[in-house]
Amino acid sequence: MANFLNEKIIMKKTKDRKKLLKTAQEPSVLAKKMHPFYKGKIEVVPKCRIKNLNDFSIWYSPGVAAACTDIYKNPELVYEYTNKWNSVAVVSDGTRVLGLGDIGPQASIPVMEGKALLYKYLGGVDAYPICLGTKDEKEIVRTVKILQPSFGGINLEDIEQPKCFPILNILKQECNIPVWHDDQQGTALVTLAGFINALKIINKKVNKVKIAMIGAGSANVCIAKLLILYGANPANIIMVDANGTLHKKRFDLKPCPEKWSLAVDTNPNNVRGGIKEAMENADAVIALSTPGPGVIKKEWIQKMAKNAIVFACANPIPEIWPWEAKEAGAAVVATGRSDFENQVNNSLGFPGVFRGILDVRASTITDTMCITAAIELASCITGNEIRPSKILPTMDNWEIFPKVAAAIGIKAIKEKVAHKKLNYDKIYSNAKMMIKRSRAITMTMMKKGFIRKCGK
């Protein structure tokens, strides 16, 4: 009888896993059908009224010359007369796209268009894919700098390490508009927000937990930096890259100052080895490394501390399937995917962040501004709502974005990096209006048939 029951349990688990795997593969199947149907995800449409062709004498020649002359006399008017105030360039060289690696600028366009879609629908921000035909660090920096007149902000995306670090650092110093690398600051912000609430579930303090960080790319390096700034003890962190744990004897890391700094500041006991050794007795693992499954093994989770946190955030496939992590004893499991519980994804951060910084015309985005946004995002799930399967709000809860916008906008004003001084209510109401407008436009176009249903 016991053997029969065990067989039934095994059969049910196998059936459930097959169902979960099929669900996990479905977005890829639909993407291959729907991308060629729509031939792109974004387009440019007018935002001004056009009653008849005579209006073009206002919007274009000869009337537009008056607007040009005013801006020439007072360059700040470009923010009042044009859409620069609400425009962001999504810039990539296609060298590290999702988990696909260096697939080039053309193959990266679907991702950058998707980013622009999220910017508009979730943040009311007009974003434009700019995929560059160069991998040269200096050329990328120069290109972004000469693009500045047309945009209110720059979103760097999917640029390989180590060059992503100096590119961001140089542009932040030398540009007069905010420059943000979403794979660094965006991922770090949302990961910190999820981690804040995950710690509440396991009832542990950020300065006490031992954290294994799997992957030392742009995302995890920035996450580590933000975690430490938030209060994590660097002595309790062990990072792992493709060559093993980071420690003071890893002189191969010296050419990359960001990684070398973490090698010096973390892992004081010089633990050697790889993922397995880093995870032993850890309270949490934050993985943004090689797509799985199988990168993280169940038996390694079993050797973590009791009630462990597992963030397996590689895309498109997490380092371990979430159900396997739970079977191994993890108390809180998160991935980067929207089709699983607890999605830790940049899309919860950047729409609200840029809505806020554009509205106050911030000149930069600081680490402390990112922490403020993370705390606000975490607070969008109240104490009695936080549970192992819900550590972050989801994208369909659109009111989180104006809250993040207002929080980061006020922080920018306090840090004296904003050109416009608005109060919280003004930033919040403006963000809410812009986001509602964007969503309403999309819904109306779908209802009227201007956005057709795929297959009809």
CATH number for 295: 3.40.50.720
Do 431 and 302 fall within a single domain? yes
C-alpha–C-alpha distance, residues 370 and 349, integer Å: 9
What residue numbers bound the domain in which 148 lies?
76-182
Q: Are residues 337 and 424 in the same domain?
A: yes
Report the catalytic residues.
60, 115
Say whether pLDDT at 307 is over 70: yes
Specify the pLDDT at position 234. 97
pLDDT class of 19 with cuts at 50, 70, 90: low
263 in any annotated domain: yes
pLDDT level of residue 5 (50, 70, 90 thresholds): very low
pLDDT tens, residue by residue, 276-289: 999 999 999 999 99
User: Cα separation of 155 and 181, whole Å?
Assistant: 6
Beta bridge partners of 129: 90
Burial class (CB in 10 A: 0-12, 13-18, 19+), 100: middle
Q: Are 392 and 342 in contact (CB under 8 A)?
A: yes
Angstrom distance (rounded) from CA 451 to CA 120: 16
Alpha-carbon distance 48 to 45, whole Å?
Answer: 9
In this structure, what CATH number is given to the domain that contains residue 140?
Answer: 3.40.50.10380
pLDDT band at 145 (very low <50, low <70, confident <90, very high): very high
Residue 29 backbone class (left: φ over 0; alpha: ψ -120 to 50; beta: rest):
alpha
User: Could you give the C-alpha distances from 396 to 88, 117, 338, 401, 439, in angstroms and in order?
Assistant: 22, 14, 11, 10, 11
Pairing of strands 126-131, 309-312: unpaired
Tell me: do 358 and 225 sit in the same domain: yes
What does 366-415 look like in DSSP terms, one character per residue?
A: -HHHHHHHHHHHHHTS-TTT-BTTBSS--TT-TTHHHHHHHHHHHHHHHT
CA dist 130 and 140 (Å) reads: 11
Q: What is the mean pLDDT of the chain?
A: 92
Same domain flag for 228 and 369: yes
Contact 389, 340 (CB under 8 A): no
Q: How far apart are CA 200 and CA 84, in angstroms?
A: 41
70 lies in a domain?
no
Beta-strand ranges (E) seen in 27-124 are 87-92
Q: What whole-number distance in Å separates Cα of residue 153 and Cα of residue 46?
A: 21
Do residues 359 and 443 share a domain? yes
The bridge status of strand 244-245 relative to strand 237-241 is antiparallel
Q: Is 221 in the same domain as 309? A: yes
Q: Token pair for residue 395?
A: 């994208």
Do 99 and 314 meet the contact criterion of CB atoms below 8 Å apart? yes
pLDDT of res. 338:
82
In a shared domain, residues 177 and 307: no
Q: Does residue 167 sit in the same domain as residue 195? A: no
Q: Which residues of 26-47 are buried (b: 16+ CB within 10 A; e: fewer)?
A: eeeeeeeeeeeeeeebbeeeee
Helices (H), 148-270: 164-174, 187-202, 218-230, 257-265
| 388-424 tens-digit pLDDT | 999 999 988 999 999 999 999 999 999 999 999 999 9
Q: Looking at the domain assignment, is residue 14 inside a domain?
A: no
Domain count, the chain: 2
Q: Which residues contact 275 (CB under 8 A, 6 or more apart)?
A: 212, 214, 240, 295, 296, 300
Q: Are residues 355 and 376 in the same domain?
A: yes
Are residues 260 and 115 part of one domain? no
Nearest-angstrom CA–CA distance, 118 and 347: 7
Q: What is the DSSP letter of 95?
A: S
Q: Are 251 and 164 contained in the same domain?
A: no
Cα–Cα nearest to 244, from 283, 215, 209: 215
Q: What pLDDT was estimated at residue 396?
A: 87
Note the pTM of the prediction, 2 decimals: 0.90
Q: Identify residue 130 by its one-letter amino acid code.
A: I
Kindly state the percentage of the chain with pLDDT values over 70.
94
On the question of pLDDT at 370 being above 60, the answer is yes
The closest of 359, 360, 352 to 414, measured between CA atoms, is: 360
Structural domain ending residue among the three candidates 161, 182, 203? 182
